[in-house]
Amino acid sequence: MSSTEAKLIYQKYDEMMGLLRNYRERTYRQWVAGVDQDCHFNLGQPLIRRDPVTNLIRVNFSKALVAVLREVKYLGFQQQKEIPSSAEDLFSRHETFRKFVGNLELIVGWYNEIKTTVMDVEFPLIKSELEAIDVKLLTAETTLFWNGEGVLEYIQDLREILHNLQNRMQKAKQNIDGISQAMKDWSANPMFERKDNKKEALLDLDGRMVNLNKRYTAVKDAGVKIQAMVMENAELFRADTTSQSWKDYIDYIDDMVLDEFDHFIRKSLNYLMDNMVTDGSVAPLFEVLMQLDEDGLVFNPSLELGPDCGFLMLIEGLINDIYTAAKLIPRLAKNRMSYKADLEDMSDLIETREELSNLVLSAMKEAEEYQDSFERYSYLWMDDPQEFMKNFLIYGRAATLDDLDTRAEEALPKTPPTLAQFQQQIDSYEKLYEEVSKCENARVFNGWLQCDCRPFKQALLNIIKRWGFMFKRHLSEHVVNSLADLEAFMKVARMGLTKPLKEGDYDGLVEVMGHLMKVKERQVATDNMFEPLKQTIELLKTYGEEMPEETHVKLQELPEQWTNTKKLAIQVKQNVAPLQANEVNILRRKCQQFELEQHEFREKFRHEAPFTFTDPDPYKSLNKQQKSIASMESVMDSLCKSGSLFEVTVPDYKQLKACHKEVCLLKELWDMIVMVNTSIDNWKTTKWKHINVEQMDTDCKKFAKDVRSLDKEIKAWDAFVGLDNMVKNTITSLRAVSELQNPAIRDRHWHQLMQATQVKFEMSDETTLADLLQLNLHKYEDEVRNIVDKAVKESGMEKRTPGPSRPLLPAAEGARFCVPWKVLKALDSTWSTMEFEHEPHARTGTMMLKSDEVLVETLEDNQVQLQNLMMSKYLSHFLKEVTSWQQKLSTADSVISIWFEVQRTWSHLESIFIGSEDIRAQLPEDSRRFDGIDLQFKALMEEAVKTPNVVEATNKPGLYDKLENLKKSLAVCEKALAEYLETKRLAFPRFYFVSSADLLDILSNGNNPVEVGRHLAKLFDSLCKLEFRLDDDRKPLKVGLGMHSKEDEYVHFDQECDLSGQVEVWLNRVLDRMRATLRHEIPEAVVTYEEKPREQWIFDYPAQIALTCTQIWWATEVGLAFARLEEGYENAIKDYNKKQMSQLNALITLLIGTLTAGDRMKIMTVCTVDVHARDVVAKMITAKVESSQAFTWQSQLRHRWDEDRRHCFANICDAQIQYSYEYLGNTPRLVITPLTDR
């Protein structure tokens, strides 16, 4: 260590330590020099600083003070002396400053946290508190310094305030999170899921109610929690619950709850949608049972639209269950409807529900088609087996509807079934049983709706088995019953035939003959019954039906017994032959005797039966005759029965049968007579004033109708003639009574009636219909009518009285003069005040006569009155006055008629000859003629205005002649105008479609195509407006760019159309351009038809082009299919039919979506034609048409495009029509039925 190097190191060390000491001392002196100023300055700074940008605060404890405290602490460790007092004083209070800074850091943290985390809806709720805190913080920001007084108390006070607010805010936010979590707790899973969450399981509908109750309980509990947390937040925010800020806060929470409900419902609906896919990628979600009940083949639940318990209602119920959850939590926002109501109005959720409904409807439609496939079995459960068997046993087959209709008119031939027919029926059911057994047990509709077919299949198999068993049972019973019946018959027959018979024992002989007849009657049937019975047993054996051993024994023994019975019958017949011959002779004598008796009875019947209308007691007579006939018929029946036993032919006894028929007809006739008499007797008691002739007449006409409907045979009988006359006379008398009920009838008229009928009676309120009928009014109908007419006229004269302005005349003279005088006074009063009304002409302002219906009607009525007066025999005194008025009113009528005609013609032609420069240029001479007419007419109208009274104005001398001349001149102008218009119509024939007024308007505006456009719809089928080229000022030029249809479809012309020149010329150009455009569009559309799917191609062209090209391609593709068929491809037509179905379904899909009105109409029209095209092809498939030359195809209207001639043609059979290219717009088409097709 004493080496030079060591010394050098020591030396360097000493130098270094000296330098360090100097540096330390220098640094310390510098620190000492500035520490007082630093302490004084920084301790005089405010406690808090606020960022002017973010408005947040921070603790304003200077880093310099921290450094001083740290330096003093280190100096203390080094035991430094002479530390500056300010530094020592600062360090002595370092614990105080540490507490200050720590508390202030908490305060700043809480404040900044509140400011940065408060939501917009929360801020108004704590705004006042924050403002108060900001006011309090302002002291710490400006006047409260670190070395000031009261810092600790200030910090403690502020800390308590902020800590309270921060805790409340934190708790409120936790409650908001709690509300969200409460909603998520119950809504995590969809409302309905597959059973046990297995992918292959069906939707758990069995546990639906349990799941719903559980889920609804959870929702209600969540609602209670949410309400509690909302009320707690109200307390935490110390909010006024009526304030707008609190309502906004509630709306925020309300929206949050609504969003959670929305999320839950979407999740539940989407679960259903995801599991109801049609591609079969997932297991079926729902199941229905197909079964048979009293209504037939049904699904459970029902797949029909109507029933409340149907499948569609089940799906609606599930959806409603999902939505109902939103109703279980009361709405937080008091001014809104329930959450459920808002959710039901959400458009996207509505669309989802509609998609679900469409899926259900689609599956229901497929199920309905599947159900229809079993329609061929419907007779098995719909028909009554017993009724079927009844008809089968009678007619040998099932009775059809035609048979039933025929049966009502005439009896069907009865043809009992053969054993082969029974076998055929049983075999058909055996085959049917085997066919149904192979049917599938389950079917999936639309990929998600599983149908369990087993209940239906089993029920149908049981029904088929019952049908087959019914026929087997019948055959079995037929065998048993036939043998038992034969056995019983033979037993009875043997007993009857072996009974001993003595001579003279008539009853015994009858009994034996009865047995012999029965044996004879069933001999043929019994002889032929045994072999069919054996065959029946063998047939039943093939079906596994064994007959009892007893039946086999009977079938072996009974044929021999039957042979013995026949032998016994032959032997007995020989034994009783002598006795039978004796009884036959006796029976024939009895028949001859009865024949005489019935003839005598017939004569007696014709004499004693009530055939006359005056019979006093018809029913007593009828009862007597009925008993006699019954007694005679009893004898006749006995003779017939004996005749059949002893094989004797008995006469028909027609006389007795005629008596039986006539007694029935007499009963019917007298019932009618008694009914009519009873009704008329009841009417006869009716008082005169209360007689309801109309009702009585109706009843009598009904009686007459009933009488006419009686059997024709009785119409010659006196009783019928009497009844018929009585009804007819009553009807005639009632007509006369109706006439006599006229109020104009007076006592003198009743006396006149009595004189005419030669019957006297007293007319009073007590008079009845019977009293009137005693007058035999039916004989004096004309006299009654004359008396009533006279009474009516006399009544009219009685009501007329003389006027007050003339002196009263004696009665005789007054009767002569009062009527004409009254009429003349009324005429004078009427026409002195009757004036013309005027109205200005729309264009010229010339006053015109105004049409007045009251004036015309009054004029006509008064002329009729005057005409009637001229025929009066009392006219001579007023002849001059009446003639004067007649002339005045006649002149007025003629003048008014021609005046209105001239006025109407002038008004029509004025706008043409005066207002149209084009017409004046074309018809100069007639225009000058009309100018003269115009001056005369206007002068005439000026005079008319000065004389408003109708009679005065129309009776001016020479007025009629002047109007007649004007009429003739106007007719010349009209004729010239008509000839001019005819030349225009010849130039453009479609002008014939419009009226002359419209044509004149078109011609007068011929140089203005826009104005003419108003009439285009009358000249073209669908073209109603043109599209014009516009100039720089957006005004239309005389150049057409395209056309609009009535349905607002626009078609652009293939070339611009010149609209200048005369109107008939440029309208012809429009017509040519319209046709050229369609002719240009059709081949282009035909070429592009196969470049894209038709449902896209159809939107590229106007409706008419799309429809025509669709028909062209239909004809083309059918032709191609026929060509492939001829090449050997057997399914060519069927494949094309499938393509048609696919194209039609694509269009139907478009129709279900959103389309404009024009596109929807276009697609519906194409669908209409497509349906017809599909039906035609299906018809050809059914008819097995194999050639394009078949009439079924040739008779169709087939469109084609001829590329050589560049034209479209329509062919049908051997006719060919060129397409006219008339623009038809976008209009609907009629559905093509066989009738419209023809």
Q: At what angle do helices 924-946 and 879-913 cross, to 10 degrees?
A: 140
- The two three-digit tokens of residue 748, written as one number: 């003198």
Tens digit of pLDDT for each residue in 770-787? 666 666 666 666 777 777
- Give the DSSP H or E segment for 1190: none
Q: Give the whole-angstrom CA distance, residue 339 versus residue 330.
A: 8
- In the prediction, which pLDDT does 800 show? 42
Residues 970 and 902: beta-carbon distance below 8 Å? yes
**Residue 615 host element (H or E):** none
| Highest mean pLDDT pick, 666-670, 993-997, 1020-1024 | 1020-1024
pLDDT the model gives residue 217: 92
pLDDT digits (tens, 9 = 90+) for 921-965: 778 888 888 888 888 888 888 888 888 888 888 888 888 888 899
At position 724, the amino acid (one-letter code) is D
Would you place residue 798 in the very low, low, confident or very high pLDDT band (cuts 50, 70, 90)? Answer: very low
pLDDT on residue 85: 65
**Eight-state DSSP code of residue 1099:** G
Q: What is the pLDDT of residues 1039-1061, one digit of tens each?
A: 999 999 988 899 999 999 998 88
SS3 717: coil
Average predicted confidence (pLDDT) for the chain: 82
Q: With 50 as the cut, is the pLDDT of residue 807 above it?
A: no
Of 725-729, 960-964, 1006-1010, which range is least confident? 725-729
End-to-end CA separation in angstroms for the chain? 139
Query: With bands split at pLDDT 50, 70 and 90, how would you rate the model's confidence at 231?
Result: very high
Looking at the predicted structure, is the pLDDT value of residue 522 above 90? no
Tens-place pLDDT, residues 334-357: 878 888 888 888 889 889 888 888
DSSP-assigned letters across all residues of 888-935: HHHHHHHHHHHHHHHHHHHHHHHHHHTT-HHHHHH-HHHHHHHHHHHH
- How many whole angstroms separate alpha carbon 875 and alpha carbon 897? 29
Pick from 1118, 1117, 1098: which is nearest to 1108 by CA? 1098
Query: Which tens digit of pLDDT belongs to each residue from 1068-1094?
Result: 999 999 999 999 999 999 889 888 888
- Rounded distance, CA 1051 to CA 553, Å? 96
898-916 pLDDT per residue, tens = 888 888 888 888 877 877 7
Token duo for residue 960 = 């009629």
For residue 321, pLDDT beyond 60: yes
Is 188's pLDDT higher than 70?
yes
pLDDT at 797 over 60: no
Q: Which amino acid is at 259?
A: D
Q: Which residue has the higher pLDDT, 805 or 899?
A: 899
What three-state secondary structure class fits 839? strand
Long-range CB contacts (within 8 A, 24+) of 745-752:
745/787, 745/788, 745/791, 746/791, 746/794, 749/787, 749/788, 749/790, 749/791, 752/787
Ranges 306-320, 402-416, 674-688, 1093-1107: which has the least confidence: 402-416
φ, ψ at 964 (rounded to 5°):
-65, -40
874 burial type by CB count under 10 A (0-12 exposed, 13-18 middle, 19+ buried): middle
Phi/psi zone of residue 1063: left (φ > 0), alpha (ψ -120 to 50 degrees), beta? alpha
